[in-house]
Structure 1
Amino acid sequence: MFFTYLRRELRRRHKAALVVASGLALGIALVIVVDSVTAGMNRAQGKVLESLYGLGTDMTVTKEPSPPGEGDAVRRPRFRFDAGEDAQGERQSQDVVMVQGFETLAASTVAQVARQDGVAEAVGGLNARVMKVDGRFERGEVRPAEPGGGPGRGGADVRGGGADFGVDSYTVYGTDVAHQGLGPLTSSKITAGRTFRAAETAAKVAVVDSAHAKEQGLAVGERLTVSGTAYTVVGIATADSGDAAADVYLPLAEAQTLADAKGRVTTVYVRATDSQRIDQVKGAIGENVPGTTVTTSADLAATVSGSLSTASGLAEGVGKWLSIVVLGAAFAVAGLLTSAAVGRRVREFGTLKALGWRSGRVTRQVAGEALVHGLIGGVLGIGAGLAGAWAVTAFSPTLTAEPGGGAGGGAPRFAGGAGGGGPVDRAASRALDIALTAPVSLTTIGLAVALAVAGGLVAGGFGGWRASRLRPADALRRVE
């Protein structure tokens, strides 16, 4: 009887049912679009962060900055060249390898971090910069003074000569070849040759970024000389997005030797056992590993600027509030329309109650009809939401993101220590182009279904409450 009466009422009042369902569908569709766009923003920000410190890294540990005036004095590069008689006209070159930021941790810190509760893996790395000066000294030519005076009057005039030197700079990252699942190298793919082997902890091998290899004319199998040490290029790596974290990747022990930092690292890359425990792990490391600064991906995400940051703020702020307001309005309208429909059916419900229907049965009948309206609205809303998410993915403009930027200038030195350097500082001055997508998850679909049911229950509650208050005698005296 319930379903028979339900089908008859839906056919008979299909226009009113469509109005109620359409209102709910609009609110549900907006929620789906906003939720999917927000998920797309988070995914885009994830791509930006992965381009800086690699896949799988939840946080990094660096040395706590020393207060001004304390700590070791900053070392500055010093170049020494032979300017003697035999060096005239000969090309001279010198490399100086410096730890970026001049702040390092003991390598034992990696094991100390790995022992903390909630840490799945911890890997150390060393960020360094190579300053290369190359050029020659030229002897000047001594000529007799010209008659009539001038600078060389009464003597000789030296013309020409001097020094002509060029300065080149590139970054080096020392990676733990026995644990390559974390660190900046994971943000690039090997497009030629191979990556490091686990046994090459002290081998004279290198992986070179594709852009740097093209600039320097390097290929797999060729030699790269760093500070007088020759390394065989075994692989060419291409960054998945944006710029690479480093120009040259070396085994950690080799990078430590070049930078005169044996037994030291600049960064510890950490993966948590559970993404929900990141804040807990951060607190444990900060408490149990003194003298360190822990930076999570969420901390770094807060420093991303550009149109991606603006769009993300709109999606999370204005978009969510707009969807809540529209959804609330849709629920209210559905409840009012259902209540108004009950008012037009006073004589009908009065007759049913006179025939023996109890108030609870009348209420359940009205609530059932409203629930079906909500489910119809859910189906329409899911369809419209999926179409909207597809349109965002297909036609949305490319957004830009500038890691470590922002007006405040307070971006954390995520991988290079307090004094700068590392993947963040390398990429901070370069904007990354990110294609926005709007993925729809099963969780979002489930939320839409829940909202549809809730909308139907809200509307049915209003209408059922009014129907339950009707008295048969009063209802039969009214004309529909």
Structure 2
Amino acid sequence: MFGIYLKRELSRRKKAALVIAMGLALGIALVITVNSVSAGMNQAQDKVLKSLYGLGTDMTVTKAQSAPKAGSSQGPSFKFGATSSSSSSQSSDRVNTQGGQALASSLVTKVGAQKGVSAAVGALTLNVTKVDGSFTQGKAKSSTTSGSSGSSQQGGPGGGSGGGTSTGQPQVQGGGANFNVNSYSVAGIDVTNQTLGPLSTSKITTGKTFTTTQTNAKVAVVSKSYAKSKKYKVGSTFKISGTKFTVIGIATPNSSESTIDVYLPLKQAQTLGDSKNKVTTIYVKATDSKQIATVKSTIQKNISGTTVTTSADLASTVSGSLSTASNLATSVGKWLSIAVLIAAFLVAALLTSSAVSRRVREFGTLKALGWPSRKVTRQVVGESMVNGLIGGGLGIALGLAAAYTVTAISPKLTAQLGSTSGGGGGMGGGPGGGQGGPGQQATSNTLEIALNAPVSLTTIALAVGLAVTGGLIAGAMGGWRASRMRPADALRSVS
């Protein structure tokens, strides 16, 4: 009886049911769209942070660079030997640590032992400035001038007459220096655990990566862009401070251009940087992603003088259109969704209540025939629930269409990475006036991210829940009004 009556009443009032369903559908569709776009923003931000952090990395531990001592020189120094040859090619490398003050390698073990830490590895970042070129020796030439013969002067035996030429001061002509300056970044990584650290943000597309036995081998993995600029391929060799390294692999960044050009085993990097048993960054993975803030506090408490940076801290350094769009979706979008939902629920409730008012004769007659108030209320709530579910279905369809449109268009967002280094460590005024090493080069990285709008099952479940809620709210108001009607109301409305 309930189902037959429900079907008949909904069929008889198709327009009213459709208006109520469409009102709910628009509110639900907006919620789905905003949630999917917000999820896309989070994914885009994760891509940006992975280019800084590393896959699986939850936080990094660094130490701020100490202030230079008074009178100490922070500038680069290159020394070349003088030779007697007219042209001599010379080359010199300057290697310095980058990304903050060096930490003792023993701290990696200490950090890994903290409560809530799943894994910890150390890495050493270096900046190498290579100067090579040649000196050309100049030649001294003296100039001669013609003199007057009008006077004479006495010389040695036999005397000399004064006419002829006079010789001026010798002058150096030609010669000079022609040098090229090349600066690139080097990261020393723990080859026994490559799931954390700088290399984890890239995949080996040519050759192979390090093996666990190559902890002190003279081998290297280079980034794709650096290999292209230097025309390196697997098997190529190059030197850093006189040490020859062989390229065994070429790495391609997963999400963006990497700020690291060359990857070496950690021990080799420590030797090059004169930083035995030192690291500049400790990469940390937490056992529970929900306890990152607690783990951060534990590390800072137990290991004094260090700076712990989480993904939330890095997120605050991302600017550009990605940040603007993320803030818009998070604040304005969600508040707009809430406002539209409230409006949709109120409209549905008012329309249902108005429909009940127009059915006075119907409900009064039903009560006169013996229907209790609860049965009348159940009838109204049932109709409202069906309207809500129809609205939910339409809302999900509209929301999915909007999310698909955003994904198909894939609007481009830019993200500029702010300063994330633990204290500078940049090279102050290298040859050519350059400021900063790779850590500071990362501060000016501008990435372009394509926006997607993924719709999760959680969002679909939220939409269904909102549809049911809207139906219940509308049904509750309509049912309350219907339950207050008396059989006499039906008799008064009969003409």
Give the TM-score of the pair, scaled to structure 1.
Answer: 0.93
Q: What SS class does the counterpart of residue 90 from structure 1 fall into?
A: strand
Tell me which residue corresponds to 2:484: 469
Using the TM superposition, give the Cα deviation of residue 115 of structure 1 relative to its aligned residue in structure 2, in angstroms. Answer: 1.1
Distance in 1, matches of 2:363 and 2:72, equals 89
Mapped pair 1:380 → 2:388:
no
Tell me which residue corresponds to 1:326: 340
Tell me which residue corresponds to 1:367: 381
Distance in 1, matches of 2:261 and 2:241, equals 15
Mapped pair 1:33 → 2:33:
yes
Mapped pair 1:77 → 2:76:
yes
1:380-433 Cα offsets, whole Å, 9 max, x none, are 1001100100000001321111111xxxxxx331xx644357876333213111
Instruction: Select which of 210, 219, 223 maps to 2:233.
Output: 219
**1:245 and 1:422 in contact (8 A); partners too:** no
**2:31 and 2:337 in contact (8 A); partners too:** yes
1:134-145 correspondence to structure 2 within 5 Å: 134-145=132-143
Using the TM superposition, give the Cα deviation of residue 145 of structure 1 relative to its aligned residue in structure 2, in angstroms. Answer: 2.3
Using the TM superposition, give the Cα deviation of residue 70 of structure 1 relative to its aligned residue in structure 2, in angstroms. Answer: 7.0
Using the TM superposition, give the Cα deviation of residue 358 of structure 1 relative to its aligned residue in structure 2, in angstroms. Answer: 1.5
Mapped pair 1:154 → 2:162:
no
Q: What SS class does the counterpart of residue 36 from structure 2 fall into?
A: helix
Using the TM superposition, give the Cα deviation of residue 107 of structure 1 relative to its aligned residue in structure 2, in angstroms. Answer: 0.7
Using the TM superposition, give the Cα deviation of residue 64 of structure 1 relative to its aligned residue in structure 2, in angstroms. Answer: 3.8
Using the TM superposition, give the Cα deviation of residue 97 of structure 1 relative to its aligned residue in structure 2, in angstroms. Answer: 1.0
Q: What SS class does the counterpart of residue 110 from structure 2 fall into?
A: helix
Q: What is the letter of the counterpart of residue 463 of structure 1?
A: G
Q: What is the letter of the counterpart of residue 59 of structure 1?
A: M
Q: What is the letter of the counterpart of residue 326 of structure 2?
A: S
Q: 1:127 to 1:345 in 2, by over 3 A?
A: same
**1:243 and 1:427 in contact (8 A); partners too:** no
Instruction: Please list every run of 5 or more consecutive structure 2 residues that lacks an aligned counterpart in the other structure.
Output: 148-165, 427-435
Using the TM superposition, give the Cα deviation of residue 153 of structure 1 relative to its aligned residue in structure 2, in angstroms. Answer: 8.4
Tell me which residue corresponds to 1:351: 365
Instruction: Select which of 413, 416, 425 maps to 1:419.
Output: 425
**2:206 and 2:234 in contact (8 A); partners too:** yes
**1:113 and 1:122 in contact (8 A); partners too:** yes
Tell me which residue corresponds to 2:183: 169
Tell me which residue corresponds to 1:407: none
Instruction: Select which of 403, 421, 425 maps to 1:389.
Output: 403
Distance in 2, matches of 1:216 and 1:69, equals 35
Distance in 2, matches of 1:390 and 1:132, equals 50
Using the TM superposition, give the Cα deviation of residue 473 of structure 1 relative to its aligned residue in structure 2, in angstroms. Answer: 1.0
Instruction: Select which of 217, 226, 229 maps to 1:203.
Output: 217
Q: 1:205 to 1:445 in 2, by over 3 A?
A: same
Distance in 2, matches of 1:455 and 1:192, equals 57
**2:396 and 2:460 in contact (8 A); partners too:** yes
Higher alpha-carbon Rg? 2
**1:53 and 1:423 in contact (8 A); partners too:** no
Q: What is the letter of the counterpart of residue 466 of structure 1?
A: R
Distance in 2, matches of 1:361 and 1:70, equals 87
Q: 1:153 to 1:316 in 2, by over 3 A?
A: farther
Distance in 1, matches of 2:3 and 2:197, equals 61
Using the TM superposition, give the Cα deviation of residue 78 of structure 1 relative to its aligned residue in structure 2, in angstroms. Answer: 1.7
Q: What is the letter of the counterpart of residue 77 of structure 2?
A: R
Q: 1:5 to 1:278 in 2, by over 3 A?
A: same
Instruction: Select which of 265, 290, 308 maps to 2:322.
Output: 308
Q: 1:70 to 1:289 in 2, by over 3 A?
A: farther
Q: What SS class does the counterpart of residue 428 from structure 1 fall into?
A: helix
1:108-132 Cα offsets, whole Å, 9 max, x none, are 1111111111111111101100010
1:37-94 Cα offsets, whole Å, 9 max, x none, are 000000001011112222111111101454x5679967543211112425x4110001
Distance in 1, matches of 2:59 and 2:392, equals 40
**1:145 and 1:154 in contact (8 A); partners too:** yes
Distance in 1, matches of 2:325 and 2:189, equals 35
Distance in 2, matches of 1:118 and 1:276, equals 10
Instruction: Please list every run of 5 or more consecutive structure 1 residues that lacks an aligned counterpart in the other structure.
Output: 405-410
Give the TM-score of the pair, scaled to structure 2.
Answer: 0.91
Q: 1:78 to 1:205 in 2, by over 3 A?
A: same
**2:127 and 2:437 in contact (8 A); partners too:** no
Tell me which residue corresponds to 1:2: 2
Distance in 2, matches of 1:148 and 1:242, equals 72
